[in-house]
Chains A and B, each alone.
Chain A
């Protein structure tokens, strides 16, 4: 057995280690494989008598499709990241333009009956999930998903599922409670707006992080709150809590549904309305989080993360300005 040490490039997430080790381990002339992500090196034991360069070439051909390259010499980091951002910005902007044209078009403003039933609330949920609410809820989902994905691909799937479960059941539970209470207590306006401002700040920070303004995958922010948030991000409780928390995020549709649940008269009917609404929003939000999951494992991962960063920043700034106008700190700058 000969031992070799290669440099690897293209690793962008924790799951890359597993992927590379799996693919290389399958080759019959390869014994042990160990990837060190931090140093970007791969230790390989092999029975092959070929030269290091040849082995590097053979192995690279196996993992090139996934975006990784093995080399004997450490590759001088190209200015690849810079080029990537030039592609990511227009892609992200195209999405933003399309999104705001959709809002402006008025397509989403058709009337939906006067009576709110679980069926209509499901439809309202579908509309809400592509409406301006997407700016805040969807932006948050996209940024958190991409962030979790970038940090640790293994946990991502579980995290997403927990988030969506938390969201759907949280909505159902709170809808039921509102229906049970039945009085116009309402969700505190200020509370929801402040939560929205906080969410947009999180989005902008995560977006900048995804674009790569901050050092790769490293939070250098001193904020205690944020480091706490990041720490709990990976446990079971936090994705569920964040999912439940989306109930309180400012979204006109959600608030209308909350009022409908309040006046519905019983726990069961309130729960039915909010559950149907949350299920209506699910397809779009699930698409957002799971598309980041599949993109993150393809060779387009770096481009995807950067482009989503651009989208998330755009939505975050939009939500922030709108929220500030909502609390009356600034004058409304736009009417979308």
Chain B
């Protein structure tokens, strides 16, 4: 094989890697939500806003929006989760914990402000989620 062919192959593979990393391949997760869709996953009960994130093989929904200015709690739901998403880190809250394999973990995030999104990552850093407040 000559170098031109190999160069083309290398470029092709690099582009494939970039597409994979940019999340170009959208694969439906268990709940049937494509990972990049913005969904409504918050509800207000007794004056407290609850935002739910599912953790298994990554976090879903990856990006979500919730209301700013009201007391908010984050519910992280695990279900047979053994991968990295079970070890949750939220820097802005100084929160880090290895979640139970199955269950719900409620985290108090205080009163969020507009324009200050909440970001959670897994311990190894390969999964993340973002909640925008508006």
Contacts and interface: CB of A to CB of B under 8 A. Distances in A.
B111 interface: no
A252 B101 contact: no
A111 B13 contact: no
Interface stretch (B45-53, B65-73, B76-84): B76-84
A5 interface: no
Contact of B96 (A111, A189, A251, A258): A189
B57 A326 contact: no
A326 B91 CA distance: 9
Contacts of A87: 1, 6
Nearest to B120: A332
A250 B98 contact: no
- A interface secondary structure, majority: helix
A256 B82 contact: yes
A323 interface: yes
A255 B86 contact: yes
Contact of B101 (A260, A319, A331, A334): A260
Contacts of A89: 6, 10
A104 B25 CA distance: 8
A168 B5 CA distance: 44
Contacts of A90: 6, 9-10, 13
Interface string A81-115: 00000110110011011001100111011011110
Contact of A94 (B6, B13, B29, B56): B13
A321 B125 contact: yes
B89 interface: yes
Given A93-B13, A111-B56, A86 B6 contact: yes
Interface string A241-278: 00000000011110111111000000000000000000
A128 B87 CA distance: 15
Contacts of B132: none
Contacts of A253: 82-84
Given A196-B124, A250-B123, A86 B3 contact: yes
B126 A322 contact: yes
A335 interface: yes
B128 A256 contact: no
A283 interface: no
Chain A contact-residue range equals: 35 or more
B123 A252 contact: yes
Nearest to B128: A332
A132 B87 contact: no
A35 interface: no
B131 interface: no
B86 A105 contact: no
B57 to A, nearest CB: 3
A22 to B, nearest CB: 34
A131 interface: yes
B58 interface: yes
A192 interface: yes
Contacts of B7: 86
B14 A252 contact: no
A252 B87 contact: yes
A313 to B, nearest CB: 13
Interface in B81-134: 81-87, 89, 91, 96, 98, 100-102, 119, 121-128
16 contacts: A89-B6, A90-B13, A93-B13, A108-B83, A109-B29, A111-B79, A114-B102, A116-B101, A250-B123, A319-B124, A321-B125, A323-B124, A325-B125, A326-B121, A326-B122, A335-B58
User: Which are the 4 A-B pairs with shortest beta-carbon distances?
Assistant: A109-B57, A252-B84, A326-B125, A111-B80
Given A132-B126, A323-B125, 14 more contacts: A87-B1, A90-B9, A97-B20, A100-B17, A100-B21, A104-B20, A104-B25, A111-B79, A128-B82, A189-B123, A252-B124, A255-B98, A318-B126, A335-B58
